[in-house]
């Protein structure tokens, strides 16, 4: 694995990676450190073979905090995060996965807003992010019913981006992270920022912001190098 990819583990396997106060603080701090590390480009968040995350640990509820009860879910990072999901990804764990840019899941993974069954509200961004990921109707189906779904349905609904054989999610997510990290980096983070900025803007403002950010990239050495590579590629094809 290259220095550009950072794997962050929830690290609570005895409780299906349910997150307590100490774990929430550690995850918050690790993602802040990742965002400030110039060498790190893409993070992979993982649980273990049995569970990605079962939500909050009810024996030690993480405190409500500016960065989100489960740790990082109110952080707006400048770089991508990929969730590597095996086993249970439910309740706050599903909200934590929704905070990530992309979700790679083993085909035996299980999903759902199961906190609905116990009268626990969504407080880690699920009501905001799930409709934007899978659409309003599908998000409400999960939020209102608290029903459980398998990996295949989660992929059909648009929550899971890549469904892979059980036990291979971390390897597949790391491979995807390496691929993204190898792309022209200034362009990657600029386009990503344009996407997230645009979610809070009307169409005219979003297009103007995209244009501004794109022009900054076009004026960079990275863009000039990319144009030169493209020209060389074309000449090789024509030879």
Tell whether domain 185-238 is in CATH 1.10.12: yes
Q: For residues 155 and 194, give the distance between their C-alpha atoms in angstroms, rounded to a whole number.
A: 25
In the structure encoding, which two tokens stand for residue 187, read together? 């362009």
Calculate mean pLDDT across residues 106-113. 98
pLDDT computed for residue 213 by the predictor: 86
Distances (CA, A) of 218 to 23, 70, 124, 204, 214: 41, 38, 37, 21, 6
Catalytic residue among 115, 153, 222, 236: 115
Q: For residues 177 and 109, give the distance between their C-alpha atoms in angstroms, rounded to a whole number.
A: 20
Catalytic residue among 95, 153, 175, 178: 95
| pLDDT above 90 (res 128) | yes
List, for residues 161-183, the tens digit of each pLDDT value: 999 999 999 999 999 999 999 99
Calculate mean pLDDT across residues 59-87. 87
Tell me which of 63-72, 149-158, 209-218, 221-230 is least confident: 221-230
pLDDT computed for residue 236 by the predictor: 66
Calculate mean pLDDT across residues 101-128. 95
| pLDDT above 80 (res 158) | yes
* Per-domain boundaries in the chain: 5-181, 185-238
| pLDDT above 70 (res 65) | no
pLDDT computed for residue 54 by the predictor: 96
Could you confirm whether 95 is annotated as catalytic?
yes
Alpha helices by DSSP H, the chain: 21-36, 92-99, 126-134, 136-145, 151-156, 169-181, 185-198, 203-218, 221-238
| Strands (DSSP E) found in 34-80 | 42-46, 51-53
Could you confirm whether 115 is annotated as catalytic?
yes
Q: Which CATH architecture has domain 5-181?
A: Alpha-Beta Complex (3.90)
Q: For residues 82 and 152, give the distance between their C-alpha atoms in angstroms, rounded to a whole number.
A: 19
């Amino acid at each position: 694995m290259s220095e550009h990819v950072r794997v962050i583990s929830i690290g609570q396997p005895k409780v299906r990676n349910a997150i307590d106060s100490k774990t929430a603080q550690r995850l918050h701090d690790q993602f802040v450190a990742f965002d400030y590390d110039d060498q790190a480009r893409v993070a992979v968040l993982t649980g273990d073979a049995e569970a990605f995350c079962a939500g909050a640990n009810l024996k030690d509820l993480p405190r409500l905090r500016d960065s989100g009860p489960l740790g990082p879910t109110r952080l707006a990072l400048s770089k991508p995060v990929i969730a590597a999901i095996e086993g249970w990804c439910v309740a706050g764990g599903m909200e934590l996965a929704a905070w990530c840019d992309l979700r790679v899941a083993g085909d035996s993974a299980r999903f759902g807003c199961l906190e609905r069954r116990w009268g626990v509200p969504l407080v880690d961004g699920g009501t905001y992010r799930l409709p934007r990921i899978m659409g309003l109707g599908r998000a409400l189906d999960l939020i209102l019913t608290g029903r459980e779904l398998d990996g295949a349905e989660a992929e059909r609904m648009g929550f899971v981006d890549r469904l892979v054989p059980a036990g291979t999610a971390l390897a597949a997510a790391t491979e995807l992270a390496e691929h993204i990290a190898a792309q022209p980096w200034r362009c990657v983070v600029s386009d990503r920022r344009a996407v997230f900025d645009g979610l809070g803007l009307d169409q005219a403002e979003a297009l103007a912001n995209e244009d501004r950010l794109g022009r900054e990239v076009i004026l960079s050495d990275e863009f000039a190098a990319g144009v030169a590579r493209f020209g060389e590629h074309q000449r090789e094809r024509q030879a």
